[in-house]
Amino acid sequence: METLATPELIAKYEAVIGLEVHVQLATRTKIFCGCATSFGAAPNSNVCPVCLGLPGALPVLNRQAVELAIEASLALNCSVNPKSIFARKNYFYPDLPKGYQISQYDQPLAEHGFVDVIAEDAGGIVKRIGVTRVHMEDDAGKSIHDGFKDSDRYTYVDLNRSGTPLIEIVSEPDMRTSDEAYKYLTEIKQVMQYLNVSTCDMEKGHLRCDANVSVRLRGAEKLGTKAEVKNLNSFKFLRMALDHEIARQVALIESGGRVVQETRLYNPDTDETVSMRSKEHAHDYRYFPEPDLVPLRISDAWKERVRTQMPELPASRRKRFIGDYGLREYDAEVLTATRAMSEYFEKVVAASGDARAAANWVMGELSGTLKEVGREIEDSPISAENLGRLIALIAQSKINGKLAKDIFPKMAVANEAPEVIMQREGLESISDEGALGKIIAEVIAANPKQVEQYKGGKQQVIGFLVGQVMRASRGQADPAVVNRMFKEKL
Of 57 and 144, nearer to Zn ion (C-beta) is 57
Of 44 and 261, nearer to Zn ion (C-beta) is 44
Shortest distance, CB of residue 63 to Zn ion, whole angstroms? 16
Q: Tell whether residue 313 is a contact of Zn ion (CB under 5 A).
A: no
Q: How far apart are CA 170 and CA 173, in angstroms?
A: 9
List the one residue from 51, 159, 229, 440 that touches Zn ion (CB under 5 A): 51
List the one residue from 15, 31, 35, 465 that touches Zn ion (CB under 5 A): 35
List the one residue from 9, 48, 144, 462 that touches Zn ion (CB under 5 A): 48
Amino acid at 484: R
201 Cβ contact partners less than 8 Å away, ≥ 6 residues apart:
207
Contact present, 295 and 43 (Cβ < 8 Å): no
Shortest distance, CB of residue 235 to Zn ion, whole angstroms? 32
Of 48 and 481, nearer to Zn ion (C-beta) is 48
Q: Tell whether residue 57 is a contact of Zn ion (CB under 5 A).
A: no
Shortest distance, CB of residue 50 to Zn ion, whole angstroms? 5
Contact present, 309 and 336 (Cβ < 8 Å): no
Of 44 and 483, nearer to Zn ion (C-beta) is 44
Shortest distance, CB of residue 46 to Zn ion, whole angstroms? 7
Of 62 and 103, nearer to Zn ion (C-beta) is 62
Shortest distance, CB of residue 135 to Zn ion, whole angstroms? 21
How many residues make contact with Zn ion (CB under 5 A)? 5
Rounded to the nearest 10°, the torsion over CA 456, 462, 463, 466 is: 150
Considering only the stretches 50-58, 80-88, 214-222, 243-251, report the one whose residues sit in contact with Zn ion under the rule CB under 5 A: 50-58
Amino acid at 285: Y
Shortest distance, CB of residue 52 to Zn ion, whole angstroms? 7
Shortest distance, CB of residue 97 to Zn ion, whole angstroms? 11
Considering only the stretches 25-33, 195-203, 467-475, 479-487, report the one whose residues sit in contact with Zn ion under the rule CB under 5 A: 25-33
Of 50 and 69, nearer to Zn ion (C-beta) is 50
Of 33 and 315, nearer to Zn ion (C-beta) is 33
Of 27 and 212, nearer to Zn ion (C-beta) is 27
Of 51 and 65, nearer to Zn ion (C-beta) is 51
Using CB atoms within 10 Å of the CB of residue 309, give its burial: 0 to 12 exposed, 13 to 18 middle, 19+ buried. Answer: exposed
Q: Tell whether residue 118 is a contact of Zn ion (CB under 5 A).
A: no
Considering only the stretches 40-48, 107-115, 214-222, 445-453, report the one whose residues sit in contact with Zn ion under the rule CB under 5 A: 40-48
Contact present, 303 and 80 (Cβ < 8 Å): yes
Q: Tell whether residue 33 is a contact of Zn ion (CB under 5 A).
A: yes
Restricting to residues 208-267, name those near Zn ion by CB under 5 A: none
Shortest distance, CB of residue 96 to Zn ion, whole angstroms? 14
b or e along 334-371 (b: 16 or more beta carbons within 10 Å of the residue's beta carbon)? Answer: bbbebbebbbbbbbbbebbebbebbbebbbebbeebbe
Using CB atoms within 10 Å of the CB of residue 388, give its burial: 0 to 12 exposed, 13 to 18 middle, 19+ buried. Answer: buried
Shortest distance, CB of residue 414 to Zn ion, whole angstroms? 45
**Residue closest to 338 by CA, chosen among 307, 308, 380:** 380
Contact present, 211 and 242 (Cβ < 8 Å): yes
Q: Tell whether residue 296 is a contact of Zn ion (CB under 5 A).
A: no
Q: Tell whether residue 159 is a contact of Zn ion (CB under 5 A).
A: no
Of 33 and 250, nearer to Zn ion (C-beta) is 33
Q: Tell whether residue 140 is a contact of Zn ion (CB under 5 A).
A: no
Q: How far apart are CA 68 and CA 139, in angstroms?
A: 16
Of 39 and 287, nearer to Zn ion (C-beta) is 39
Considering only the stretches 14-22, 49-57, 213-221, 430-438, report the one whose residues sit in contact with Zn ion under the rule CB under 5 A: 49-57
Contact present, 321 and 327 (Cβ < 8 Å): yes
Shortest distance, CB of residue 381 to Zn ion, whole angstroms? 40
Shortest distance, CB of residue 108 to Zn ion, whole angstroms? 24
Contact present, 139 and 125 (Cβ < 8 Å): no
Shortest distance, CB of residue 48 to Zn ion, whole angstroms? 3
Distance from first CA to last CA of the chain, Å, rounded? 79
C-alpha dihedral sign at 364, 370, 376, 378: negative
Binding site for Zn ion (CB under 5 A): 33, 35, 48, 50-51
